[in-house]
Amino acid sequence: MIDSNEQLHQQLKDIKTQLRLSMNGAVSQSMREKGLVYKLNFGVELPRIKSIATAYEKNHALAQALWKEDIRECKILAGLLQPVDSFFPEIADIWLEDIRNIEIAELTCMNLFQHLPYAPAKSLHWIADEREYVQVCGFLTIARLLAKKGDMNERVENEFLDQAVAAFLSGSYHVRNAVMVALRRFMQHAEENAFLVCRRVEEMENSELEAERLLYKAVKEEVIG
């Protein structure tokens, strides 16, 4: 009988073999040119990565081992193969520290973070963090939760809007984009949500600060649609 460590080692080996066989240098090069830097990137396209994932059952040990590999495709597979019930909040925080580009942020939020039972509370902590990709993941997770559920209580709403405005005004390009994804979802849910956001930015139209004018413009474009 194969012990679990040996089985895990074999699965990792098999996955890496499949990734190498699916390598696409042109895709990898194109990603580098767009600023998506990885220690190792086989350039395997997403449908193929998903297809590899379907051959394996969700498995905590395998997902954790894949995440530790500093390889683009392994990190994506980790998010696809990690079971929700064994992914405790402290592990989520550890994974977040390892997220260093927008592709992994978006895919991990989509494939894993949005499904976590503690995602609503955790994402509010993340958006209040100073670290770029922790904030990005917080706003992207909130956007996905809003798309599914759509509503928040008043306290959470105020906290979200306070953090969204603050993060947009002080954040990086990726943080601003993530904020707007979440704000758009929030505004699309109800007329009064759109009104609340407009009230927050109405005095920014002619601000001396470029970031405030940008936020006003982004919100106005969403309202005009």
**Backbone phi, then psi, for 158, in 5-degree steps?**
-65, -40
Q: Count Cα neighbours of 5 within 13 Å in the Cβ-side half-sphere.
A: 0
Rounded distance between C-alpha atoms, residue 98 and residue 39, angstroms: 12
pLDDT of amino acid 114? 97
What pLDDT tens digit does each residue of the chain (225 aa) get?
467 889 999 999 999 999 999 999 998 999 989 888 899 999 999 999 999 999 999 999 999 999 999 999 999 999 999 999 999 999 999 999 999 999 999 999 999 999 999 999 999 999 999 999 999 999 999 999 999 887 788 899 999 999 999 999 998 999 999 999 999 999 999 999 999 999 999 999 999 999 999 999 999 999 987
Check residue 113 and report its DSSP letter: G
Q: Which residue has the tokens 């001396």?
A: 208
Task: Measure CA 6 to chain center.
Answer: 32
Q: Is the pTM of this model over 0.85?
A: yes
The residue behind tokens 């109405």 is: 202
Residue 125 CA to residue 131 CA, distance in Å, equals 12
Give me the pLDDT at residue 23, please. Answer: 92
